[in-house]
Chain A
Amino acid sequence: MEQTNFQLKKQDAQSHEWETQLHHATKATREDWIGRGISYFCIGIIILVVASMLWFITSKGIATFTQNHVSLWKFLSGTNWAPDQGQIGALPMIVGSFAVTFAAAIVATPFAVGTAIFMTEISPNKGRKFLQPVIELLVGIPSVVYGFIGLAVIVPFMRHLVGGSGFGIISATFVLFVMVLPTITSMTVDSLRAVPRFYKEASLALGATRWQTVSRVILRSATSGILTAVIFGMARAFGEALAVQMVIGNAAIMPKNLISPASTLTSQLTTGIGDTIDGTLPNNALWSLALILLLMSLFFNAIVRVIAKRGQLKHER
């Protein structure tokens, strides 16, 4: 009796061991759980950062309207910016930001597309060996250095050329032109390279010249890519802070012309946020400017998506 009991117990223990082996995780599986846990944690941090960034800036930005009861319409259309006296008209900054952004994009696009055509169609060899590093170096130059050169070269030059202080939208446009040029160029190069080779071959075989091929076949089929490139450049120009702030003159008044001091959303933010007290109207008003910046950045993002989707549809058809 005693013995059988012992045997049974032994059997039990053995089957238990098998059970552990069969039903419990192996070392590899446990490693995988840990790895999975780590990578989920890391991606979780990024999601948390994005979510809290959107939440904090939005809640701060709408305080002007919910706590200080400034009307949204007055904020967007008012031209008088004097937050100390309760005058919250952000239109001068909004106009300033859009003016420099569009002007920079308009000036930069022909240069960027021309350079990209050279790099892909005219001299791919020189393009890769020589122009690629040039573009990468231009991307690498920090924005304060662009601002400093603007201040040291472009502002005095404009002062010399047209008089006045030299600060203003046109100086900011020149600085931003150089800053967005590499962004637009490198993305345009990518989209030109993505054009199927046989498009070009077919066109050349029909006896078209290089320019006819480029202008009527390659540029046309790369249109959505070039548009995306320009939008990216505009997003960069819209959000650029210090370089613009250094050359635009920072006067929160409606820009009357291109050569008098003006201001942008970013320049107003960088000069103002340190001088105001948290929770007061002048401070909240600045956060509302930051909210506009955030919304515009989301808007640029959305446009890029729409263009990408439409481009995809075209290729599928």
Chain B
Amino acid sequence: MNAKRTDLIATIVIDLIVASVVGILFFLLAYILTAGLPHVSWSFLTGATDAFSGAGGIGVQLFNSFYLLVLTMLISVPISLGAGIYLAEYAKDNWRTSLIRSAIEVLSSLPSVVVGLFGFLLFVVKFKIGFSVISGAIALTFFNLPLLTRNIEESLSAVSRSQREAGLSLGLSKWKTELGIILPVALPGIVTGIVLSAGRVFGEAAALIYTAGQSAPVTNFADWNPMDPASPLNPFRPAETLAVHIWKVNTEGLASNAAALSAAASAVLIIAVLLFNLGARLLGTYLYRRVTASK
């Protein structure tokens, strides 16, 4: 067999591999959408779940997913912003910084189930808060912090040095320079990272089954007082999210139409995640244009 023929065969094999990878993705999307979308209706999206079998709508779960996402982002964005600024701006190149970096790396490589168990141990067992929105949000924060911090650090470090020098030479403090000059330039990258991580948080289940819990008590959507136990905004009530719901319906299997139900819920979840991905791209490009004034 000569070299040219080997080359041809290798190219064909690689083409087949690529075709199968693309095929897998299209099969996955097509399967979920065709199996799930016919069952998605307005009453499914807003309806209540039967507490025993898990059948019925996903209204509460959908709300819980978004509520947890918002809370998680409210906690994790400021912390990772501060930590990102520390790493990009204040950290010196010494053993302490490399220790901090390894700690962040370790946190990001921990399996999400371990993060969830830590949250369970801390909030449910030790602090006795119980399965609650706030436990779930903090567990998701642990899971989200390292990636977001790294993303923010990278975006900040990518801003050119001359911008920093310009700010400092005007007599601004380092902190003002960072907030007023560097951060706006780095914003497109940071926002893209935040929205992408939102997609990840939205689909996460393993960190939540023992922190936010697996039950979605019926809440009164007319009651918006966060202190009220029946209010959807109460951070101390258990909150099963959409992703946890899919897991639960499948593993406990009490609903007679479990397959259709979880296909529909998966379709909703996938569409939400796709929208996050698409949104991240569009928002990133839009902000980049606004900030850099380029066409």
Contacts and interface: CB of A to CB of B under 8 A. Distances in A.
A215 to B, nearest CB: 7
B45 interface: no
B142 A140 contact: no
Nearest to B265: A148
A278 B274 CA distance: 40
Chain B interface helix/strand/loop/mixed: helix
Contacts of A239: 110-114
A65 interface: no
Nearest to A56: B121
Interface stretch (B79-87, B232-240, B286-294): B79-87
A137 B25 contact: yes
B43 to A, nearest CB: 22
Interface in B28-49: 28-29, 31-32, 35
Contact of A293 (B14, B20, B113, B244): B113
A201 interface: no
Contacts of B79: 42, 45-46
Contact of B173 (A31, A60, A266): A31
Given A141-B273, A178-B24, A46 B146 contact: yes
Interface in A39-55: 39-43, 45-47, 49-54
A36 B25 CA distance: 46
Interface string A12-55: 00000000000000011101101110111111011101111110
Report the contact-size class of chain A (Cβ under 8 Å from the partner).
35 or more
Interface in B120-142: 120-122, 125, 142
Nearest to B85: A39
Interface stretch (B50-58, B157-165, B202-210, B219-227): B202-210
B14 A43 contact: no
Contacts of B7: 209-212
A94 interface: no
B17 A211 contact: no
B92 interface: no
A202 interface: no
B206 A114 contact: no
Interface of B: 3-4, 6-7, 10-11, 13-15, 17-18, 20-22, 24-25, 28-29, 31-32, 35, 78-83, 85-87, 89-90, 100, 102-107, 109-115, 117-118, 120-122, 125, 142, 145-146, 149, 171-176, 178-179, 199-200, 202-206, 209-210, 243-244, 246-247, 250-251, 259, 262-263, 266, 269-270, 273-274, 276-277
14 contacts: A28-B172, A40-B86, A42-B81, A45-B79, A53-B110, A53-B118, A60-B121, A115-B18, A118-B17, A144-B243, A209-B4, A242-B209, A270-B113, A297-B111
Given A46-B100, A274-B209, 13 more contacts: A43-B86, A43-B100, A46-B103, A49-B142, A137-B277, A138-B28, A142-B273, A144-B269, A148-B266, A149-B31, A239-B112, A242-B247, A297-B109
User: Which 4 A-B pairs have CB atoms at the shortest separation, nearest pair first?
Assistant: A239-B111, A142-B203, A35-B175, A42-B82
